Amino acid sequence: MELDPRRLRVLRAVALRGGVMDAARLLHLTPSAVSQQLTQLEQEVGVALLDRSRRRIALTAAGWLLAERAERIEQELAQARRDLTALSGRVSGPVVVAAFPTAIRHLLAPALATIARDHPDVRPSVVELEGPPALHELRTGGVDVVIAEGDRPVVEPPGLRAVPLADDEYRIAVPRGWSPRSVRELAERPWVAAPTDSACGAALERLAAKHRFSPMRAHTCLEFPAVVALVAAGLGAAILPSLALGDVPTDTVAVTSLPVGGARRLTALCRAPRSGPEPVATTLIDALREAVRAVGLTPAVSGT
Block mean pLDDT (10 aa), the chain, length 304: 80 85 84 88 88 80 88 79 77 93 94 95 94 90 91 75 92 94 93 90 92 94 93 96 89 93 90 81 94 89 60
Residue 82 CA to residue 90 CA, distance in Å, equals 10
Q: Is 76 exposed, middle or buried (0-12, 13-18, 19+ CB in 10 A)?
A: exposed
Hey, what CATH topology would domain 5-84 get? Arc Repressor Mutant, subunit A (1.10.10)
Phi/psi zone of residue 189: left (φ > 0), alpha (ψ -120 to 50 degrees), beta?
beta
The predicted model scores a pTM of 0.79
Q: In the chain, what are the domain boundaries? A: 5-84, 92-304
Using CA atoms, how far residue 252 sits from 172, 192, 208, 224, 235, in Å, is 14, 15, 25, 16, 11
Residue 47 CA to residue 180 CA, distance in Å, equals 74
Tell me the pairing of strands 58-59 and 50-51.
antiparallel
Residue 35 CA to residue 52 CA, distance in Å, equals 11
Handedness of CA 212, 214, 217, 221 (dihedral sign): positive
H or E, element range at 254? strand 253-255
| CATH architecture label of 92-304 | 3-Layer(aba) Sandwich (3.40)
pLDDT (0 to 100) of residue 79: 75
CB 86 within 8 A of CB 262: no
Give the CB-side neighbour count of residue 277, counting CA atoms within 13 A: 22
